[in-house]
């Protein structure tokens, strides 16, 4: 399965072309590999637009839509000045439905929008936007790290979709076949996973192929963007007791000592993640099962890591508050700083699947006013109110 | 034991751990059930043939002032002064996989420790601990002269406050108690320290099923072995469990 090299996205927006091109430009220039290009166009009549997209996407690999395509009149493909009468959601729905019927040639669809209500809440969003692979407020693309992340994800999504289809077609009758999508060579390697993750897609009817976007959404929303069993770099740093900002050897540590725990499945180019279980296993091997990570202070963890890796530029993370424990296990969902769960406050449950963990925040997260006691799970609310008073 | 049966046993334990994690998440207790899921991963993927094991470190359960702490009586310090009470469980367990008849003890090594920490007014800290161990028949230890039931429950643990004040601490008694895996240890903690929660949850069929499974694997062989004393069949084996039996 060779990777597509030149990734081309089609971006449809009713705004002025030069404005849309500017946003597209921000993202393209963050892509150092030069693989990514984005072509901007105005929307046109629904039926025509659908046909155009289907045609264009035989040569392009992904679609970006602005949410409100019906607000500004622009010259359409035939040069007529008009407003279209549909929104991105209708367009995307039609495309997805057709794709489901066709069962091949699917591609990622992204939503870029100015809409104020487009809340990018850090609490897991499980209901809305089940049409779009990624959703983002356009203004955020002005921030280099966001544009960077967007570029990488766009490439990863475009490359991943055809591979998903190929894996699905080859293996879908096998029990637990989803492990191929997750980057595991065989089922044994994936034994540590909650079996429900793999069973989710065990398909007994070969004539009813699920469309690729269903696998893609499951993967991005419930594994890559969830807080377990895959961990992002901040949580990995927390578990290793490391201050990620001030430890210049952190990346080397992960690539040298913990490379076996890295997620290498579909879309891995756009999401740097590590399997929490494999990370812990590696640690247990290094300490010969004597000192579980969870029971050690950050200082002790980093001391041992320096010993094992030979790398010196690893600094232990300081607690969010001086009285907090340094036996970090996760991060405050808001500040992304390391925290021992017992010092945190559980956020209200918004979990779609049983293998996902409840997130928590530290006291610091309330200072900006973005988090209020109402966001907190009832079990911790009384404790919070007492501390806040 | 066949590879398939060993795998079944490990999967059963892993599923049970995940199931109780879900139950814990749904209770009115602040906790970190993710550790149970990690243990489930460790258990289901231990590839060493017939061997199984998992380890849980620092599973905390926090008691709420109004819902839980206020129910305690005869406490020192007084419950009015306890601002926070946390139970911290460590479980290390492992052994050989067994079939589903419940005749054989699957445990070779076991250590369950519960640390209880209270924070009181003016940030004064109190703590205590208890633990449950499997005696591995080591008669060379310092306490070899003292009675060691196969599975015994003891007050105190590896981490205790340094300042014991007027409290006398000596190792005995070692009480006879059936083994506990993580599931049974959680049930034990809930029953003793979160009684109202326990009474509620134990009426739920999912919870009942989880506990029954654990009791089947870990208590049935224990009770069968103990029963040898009353049947007169193999009294020696029952006195391993309960040295006092004659």
Q: Which residue has the higher pLDDT, A5 or A131?
A: A131
* Closest to A83 measured CA to CA, from A71, A66, A68: A71
Residue B93 has pLDDT above 90, yes or no: yes
A325 in reach of chain B (CB within 8 A): no
Cβ-based burial of B94 (10 A; exposed 0-12, middle 13-18, buried ≥19): middle
Cα nearest neighbour of B44 on chain A: A192
Interface of A with B in 171-200 (CB under 8 A): 188, 191-195
pLDDT at A120: 45
Confidence band of A75 (pLDDT split at 50, 70, 90): low
pLDDT at B53: 93
Q: Say whether A66 sits in a helix, a strand or coil.
A: strand
Cβ pair B37:A193 closer than 8 A:
no
- Average the pLDDT over A139-147 and give the result: 88
- Average the pLDDT over A6-12 and give the result: 91
Cβ pair B35:A192 closer than 8 A:
no
Asked whether the beta carbons of A37 and A7 are under 8 A apart, the reply is: yes
C-alpha distances in Å from residue A374, one per residue of A377, A389, B17, B196: 8, 15, 30, 25
Confidence band of B83 (pLDDT split at 50, 70, 90): confident
**CA pair distance B241, B176, nearest whole angstrom:** 7
**CA pair distance A39, A20, nearest whole angstrom:** 10
Chains A–B, number of C-beta pairs less than 8 Å apart: 73
CA distance A380 to chain B (A): 6
Asked whether the beta carbons of A309 and A240 are under 8 A apart, the reply is: no
Cβ pair B33:A357 closer than 8 A:
yes
Give a three-class secondary structure readout of chain B.
Answer: CCHHHHHHHHHHHHHHHHHHHHHHHHCCCEECCHHHHHHHHHHHHCCCCCEEEEEEEEEEEEECCCCCHHHCCCCCCCHHHEEEEEEEEEEEEEEECCCCCCCCCCCCEEEEEEEEEEEEHHHCEEEEEEEEEECCCCCCCCCCCCCCCCEEEEECCCCCCCCCCCCCCCCCCCEECCCCCHHHHHHHHHHHHCHHHHHHHCCCHHHHHHHHHHHHHHCHHHHHHHHHHHHCCCHHHHHHHCCCCC
Task: Return mean pLDDT, chain A.
Answer: 87
pLDDT at A115: 62
- Average the pLDDT over A156-168 and give the result: 94
pLDDT at A249: 96
φ and ψ of B88, to 5 deg: -120, 115
Residue A32 has pLDDT above 60, yes or no: yes
Range of lowest pLDDT (A142-156, A252-266, A317-331, B150-164) = B150-164
A387 in reach of chain B (CB within 8 A): no
Q: Closest CB to B41: pick one of A277, A329, A349.
A: A277
Range A278-306 burial, b when 16+ CB lie within 10 A, else e: bbbbbbbebeeeebbbbebebebbbebbe
**Of all helices (H) and strands (E), which one includes residue A12?**
strand A7-12
C-alpha distances in Å from residue A7, one per residue of A3, A22, A52, A63, B204: 10, 18, 18, 11, 53
* Distance spanning both ends of chain B, measured CA to CA: 35
- Average the pLDDT over A13-30 and give the result: 88
pLDDT at B138: 53
Confidence band of B63 (pLDDT split at 50, 70, 90): very high
Q: Which residue has the higher pLDDT, A31 or A252?
A: A252
A349 in reach of chain B (CB within 8 A): yes
Contact list in B for residue A378 (CB cut-off 8 A) is 28
Token pair 């725990």 is found at A261
Cβ pair B37:A194 closer than 8 A:
yes
Asked whether the beta carbons of B34 and B78 are under 8 A apart, the reply is: no
Cβ pair A383:B84 closer than 8 A:
yes
C-alpha distances in Å from residue B209, one per residue of A222, B46, B206, B213: 28, 24, 5, 6
Rg (CA), chain B: 19
Q: Which residue has the higher pLDDT, A70 or A3?
A: A70
**Sign of the torsion formed by the C-alpha atoms of A43, A44, A46 and A51:** negative
pLDDT at A300: 97
Residue B246 makes CB contacts below 8 A (sequence gap 6+) with B239
Residue A229: DSSP 8-state: S
DSSP A277-316: HHHHHHHHHHTTTSS-GGGS-HHHHHHHHHHHH------B
Half-sphere exposure of A335 (CA within 13 A, CB side): 18
The token pair at B192 is 């003793």
How much is the ipTM here? Answer: 0.84
* Distance spanning both ends of chain A, measured CA to CA: 59
Q: Which residue has the higher pLDDT, A73 or A66?
A: A66
**CA pair distance A161, A133, nearest whole angstrom:** 11
Cα nearest neighbour of B31 on chain A: A342
**Residue A36: strand pairing partners:** A7
Residue B238 has pLDDT above 80, yes or no: yes
pLDDT at B139: 44
pLDDT at B184: 98
CA distance B42 to chain A (A): 6
Task: Return mean pLDDT, chain B.
Answer: 89
> Could you count the other beta carbons within 10 Å of the beta carbon of residue A23?
24
Q: Closest CB to A382: pick one of B21, B25, B64.
A: B64
Interface test with A, best of B45, B59, B87, B91 (most A CBs within 10 A): B45
Token pair 């779609």 is found at A352
**CA pair distance A346, A333, nearest whole angstrom:** 10
A377 in reach of chain B (CB within 8 A): yes
A278 in reach of chain B (CB within 8 A): no
- Average the pLDDT over A279-295 and give the result: 93
Confidence band of A3 (pLDDT split at 50, 70, 90): low
Cβ pair A192:B42 closer than 8 A:
yes
pLDDT at A121: 34
pLDDT at A129: 58
Query: pLDDT digit string (tens) for A210-246?
Result: 889 999 999 998 999 998 899 999 999 999 999 999 9
**CA pair distance A108, A154, nearest whole angstrom:** 8
CA distance A294 to chain B (A): 6
Q: Say whether A109 sits in a helix, a strand or coil.
A: strand
Confidence band of A152 (pLDDT split at 50, 70, 90): very high
Q: Say whether A242 sits in a helix, a strand or coil.
A: strand
Query: pLDDT digit string (tens) for A92-132?
Result: 888 888 888 877 788 999 988 876 545 543 223 334 457 89
B15 in reach of chain A (CB within 8 A): yes
pLDDT at A279: 96
A305 in reach of chain B (CB within 8 A): no
The token pair at B208 is 């009942």
Contact list in A for residue B70 (CB cut-off 8 A) is none
Confidence band of A320 (pLDDT split at 50, 70, 90): very high
């Amino acid at each position: 399965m060779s990777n597509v090299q030149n990734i081309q996205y089609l971006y449809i927006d009713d705004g002025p072309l030069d404005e849309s091109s500017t946003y597209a430009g921000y993202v393209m220039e963050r892509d150092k590999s030069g693989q990514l290009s984005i072509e901007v166009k105005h929307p046109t009549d629904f039926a025509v637009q659908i046909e155009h997209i289907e045609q264009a996407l035989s040569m392009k690999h992904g679609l970006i839509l602005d949410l409100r395509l019906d607000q500004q009149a622009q010259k359409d493909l035939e040069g007529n000045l008009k407003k279209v009468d549909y929104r991105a959601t209708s367009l995307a729905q039609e495309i997805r439905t057709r794709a489901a019927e066709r069962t091949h040639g699917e591609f990622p669809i992204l939503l870029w929008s100015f809409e104020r209500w487009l809340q990018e809440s850090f609490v897991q969003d499980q209901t809305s936007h089940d049409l779009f692979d990624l959703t983002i407020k356009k203004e955020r693309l002005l921030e280099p790290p966001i544009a960077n992340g967007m570029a990488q994800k766009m490439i990863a999504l475009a490359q991943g979709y055809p591979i998903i289809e190929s894996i699905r077609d080859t293996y879908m009758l096998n029990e637990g076949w989803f492990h191929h999508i997750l980057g595991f060579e065989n089922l044994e390697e994936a034994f540590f996973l909650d079996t429900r993750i793999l069973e989710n897609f065990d398909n007994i009817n070969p004539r009813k192929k699920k469309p690729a976007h269903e696998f893609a959404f499951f993967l991005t929303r419930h594994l890559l963007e969830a807080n377990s069993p895959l961990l992002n770099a901040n949580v990995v740093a927390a578990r290793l007791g490391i201050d990620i900002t001030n430890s210049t050897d952190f990346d080397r540590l992960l690539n040298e000592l913990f490379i076996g725990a890295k997620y290498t499945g579909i879309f891995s180019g756009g999401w740097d993640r590590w399997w929490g279980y494999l990370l812990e296993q590696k640690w247990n091997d290094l300490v010969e099962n004597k000192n579980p990570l969870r029971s050690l202070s950050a200082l002790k963890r980093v001391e041992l890591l320096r010993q094992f890796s030979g790398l010196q530029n690893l600094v232990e993370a300081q607690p969010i508050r001086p009285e907090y424990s340094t036996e970090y296990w996760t991060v405050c969902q808001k500040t992304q700083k390391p925290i021992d769960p017992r010092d945190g406050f559980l956020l209200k449950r918004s979990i779609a699947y049983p293998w996902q963990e409840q997130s928590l925040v530290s006291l610091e997260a309330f200072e900006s006013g973005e988090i209020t006691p109402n966001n907190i799970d009832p079990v911790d609310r009384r404790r919070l109110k007492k501390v806040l008073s | 034991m066949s590879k398939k049966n060993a795998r079944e046993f490990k999967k059963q334990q892993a599923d049970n751990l995940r199931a109780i994690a879900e139950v814990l998440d749904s209770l009115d207790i602040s906790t970190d059930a993710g550790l149970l899921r990690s243990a489930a991963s460790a258990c289901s993927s231990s590839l060493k043939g017939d061997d199984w094991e998992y380890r849980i470190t620092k599973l905390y359960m926090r008691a709420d002032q109004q819902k839980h702490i206020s129910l305690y009586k005869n406490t020192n310090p007084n419950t009015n002064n306890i601002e926070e009470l946390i139970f911290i469980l460590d479980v290390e367990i492992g052994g050989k996989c067994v079939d589903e008849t419940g005749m054989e003890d699957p445990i070779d090594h076991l250590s369950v420790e519960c640390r209880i920490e209270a924070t009181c007014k003016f940030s004064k800290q109190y703590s205590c601990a208890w633990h449950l161990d499997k005696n591995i028949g080591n008669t060379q230890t310092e306490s070899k002269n003292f009675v060691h039931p196969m599975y015994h429950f003891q007050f105190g643990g590896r981490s205790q406050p340094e300042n014991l004040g007027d409290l006398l601490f000596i190792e005995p008694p070692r009480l006879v108690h059936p083994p506990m895996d993580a599931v049974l240890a959680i049930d034990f903690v809930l029953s003793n320290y979160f009684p109202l929660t326990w009474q509620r949850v134990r009426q739920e069929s999912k919870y009942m099923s989880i506990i029954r499974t654990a009791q089947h694997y870990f208590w049935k062989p224990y009770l069968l072995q103990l029963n040898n004393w009353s049947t007169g069949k193999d009294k020696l084996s029952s006195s391993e469990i309960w040295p006092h039996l004659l």
